Structure 1
Amino acid sequence: MLVLEGVSRRFGAKSAVEGVELSIERGSFIGVIGRSGAGKSTLLRMINRLIDPTSGRIALDDVDVSALRGKELREWRARCAMIFQQFNLVGRLDVLTNVLMGRLNKVPTHRSLMRLWSDEDIAIALTALEQFDMGSFAAQRADQLSGGQQQRVAIARALVQEPEIILADEPIASLDPRNTKLVMDSLSRINRDYGITVFCNLHSLDLARAYCGRLIGMSQGRVVFDGGPFDLTEDVARQLYGLEAGDVIDMPEEMPAAVVAAQAATPPVLAAH
């Protein structure tokens, strides 16, 4: 279980995240929702330790993540893969090499620097690409791909790390509807088939309700909502988004069957802030 205990992050006088308390079961698909600037990205980056908490503790089972340094921290980042909005691929390198970068923690440094990948590593990378219908692009430069294709390559790179957790920070923000579905379906399949815990920052509440079994709503750095898709009512949306609520959610009359099946048992929490 991933546990956050009183996790906060300040930048000077500004509090980006304040007093977050969460317990996340393995294999969950978590949607983190809220306005821009609510603290969603900072929260994910603290879990990955790209940003250190100002106070509080992050732990996975018996590992105190917030205390890791050096090699142990690098190993944690391999166990907790990050997917970014802007893909973070090396454009001049081919797709296969970009995916193989996810294996850096599995091979000696001298081999990775010289790109002396083993047949096993190459097979793992190609298999990951095939899962996302990107195998035929293995030899193509990454900067020649569309945004949706680049994001699927980034997901394949995360998958070959063999992570326990995937943190996706607004992975569909710049994508069209077709590629949005492809990327969200890919994350859902990883969660379902491999049991990997997925945290996904999302702006669209419709997508959050359709794909996530549990939703965590943030406002001004605090968690103000914690519940399932059924619990995300129009009133909750208005509290999270104010006048923007109508732009991010279109409440359907009935929940899709897939969402019903994924509905988390955790009761909702809604707090004033």
Structure 2
Amino acid sequence: MLVIDNLTRHYGDRRALDGVSLRIEPGSFVGVIGRSGAGKSTLLRLINRLAEPSSGRILHGETDVTALSGHQLRDWRARCAMIFQQFNLVGRLDVMTNVLMGRLSHVPSHRSLLRMWSEADKAMALAALDGFDMGQFAGVRADQLSGGQQQRVAIARALVQEPEIILADEPVASLDPRNTRLVMDALAEVNRRYGITVMCNLHSLDLARAYCDRLIGLVAGRVVFDGRGFDLTEDVARRLYGLEAGEVLDDEASMPPPSMTIPARPAHHAAIGA
């Protein structure tokens, strides 16, 4: 259970997050929605400890995440993987090496610096890529891929971290409709197949309805909606987005997501490719 307790973050006089309290059940797919500046990215960055809260706590089971430092904080970031809008791949490195970077917390530092990856690590990385139909690009430089392909590589990298939680910060914001569907399918299948908790910031309300089993709506850093997709009415949309509500509704995105096949559970869940 991930518990967010009265979490607040100040940037000068502005409250980017204002007393947010949530309980996130293991294995859920949670969409965080709201207009730009509502606090969506701040919330995810605080959970991953890429930013520090001004007040409040983040708890995961018996662990006080807000009190972690050093190697314990690094371990948390491995267990709570982050996927970014900008993909954050190393463009000059090949796809396989980028995915293997997700294993850094599982291997000694001298091996990772020398890229002395074990055969088991390589097999895990390739199986993750194959599961997202990216195995044929393993030897290709990351900067030669399309945006949708790069994002699927980023998801594969997160998967081989063996995370309990994946935080996706606007993962489809820069993608066309086809690649949006492929990336969201990948996240949904990771959630369903592995039981990994997914928290995903989304701009499209109908995309959120189609993929997420719980939606959390933020306005000015405060939670103003917490419910299921069918509870998200046009009135709620107007409350969240004001005059922008019509722009974030997309009927095509509301179609049920098609399923895709990805490999068996990784490592402590059951090794990828096993």
Say if 1:166 and 1:197, in contact at 8 Å, map to a contact too: yes
Distance 1:188 1:251 in 2: 19
User: CA offsets, 1:135-175, max 9 Å, x none?
Assistant: 00000000000000000000000000000000000000000
The code of the aligned residue for 1:130 comes to D
The residue correspondences of 1:207-246 to structure 2 (distance < 5 A) are 207-246=207-246
Q: After the TM superposition, list the runs of 4 or more consecutive aligned residues in structure 1 that deviate by more than 6 angstroms.
A: none
1:119 aligns with 119
The residue correspondences of 1:83-122 to structure 2 (distance < 5 A) are 83-122=83-122
1:59 aligns with 2:59: yes
The code of the aligned residue for 1:129 comes to L
The code of the aligned residue for 1:190 comes to V
Unpaired runs of 5+ in structure 1? 259-273
The residue correspondences of 1:110-149 to structure 2 (distance < 5 A) are 110-149=110-149
Say if 2:47 and 2:58, in contact at 8 Å, map to a contact too: yes
1:193 aligns with 2:175: no
TM-align CA RMSD: 1.5
1:176 aligns with 2:201: no
Distance 1:218 1:67 in 2: 25
1:49 aligns with 49
The code of the aligned residue for 1:189 comes to E
> What's the offset of the Cα at 1:250?
4.7
> What's the offset of the Cα at 1:249?
1.5
Say if 1:234 and 1:251, in contact at 8 Å, map to a contact too: no
Say if 1:230 and 1:255, in contact at 8 Å, map to a contact too: no
The code of the aligned residue for 2:41 comes to S
Match of 1:88, SS state, is coil
1:162 aligns with 2:172: no
Report how many aligned residue pairs link the two structures.
Answer: 257
Query: CA 1:3–1:204 in 2, change beyond 3 Å: closer, same or farther?
Result: same
TM-score normalized by the length of structure 2:
0.92
Match of 2:56, SS state, is strand
> What's the offset of the Cα at 1:94?
0.3
The code of the aligned residue for 2:112 comes to S
Task: Report the identity percentage.
Answer: 74
1:4 aligns with 4
1:35 aligns with 35
> What's the offset of the Cα at 1:12?
1.1
Distance 1:24 1:145 in 2: 34
Distance 2:157 2:41 in 1: 20
Distance 1:83 1:257 in 2: 20
User: CA offsets, 1:159-217, max 9 Å, x none?
Assistant: 00000000000000000111000000000000000000000000000100000000000
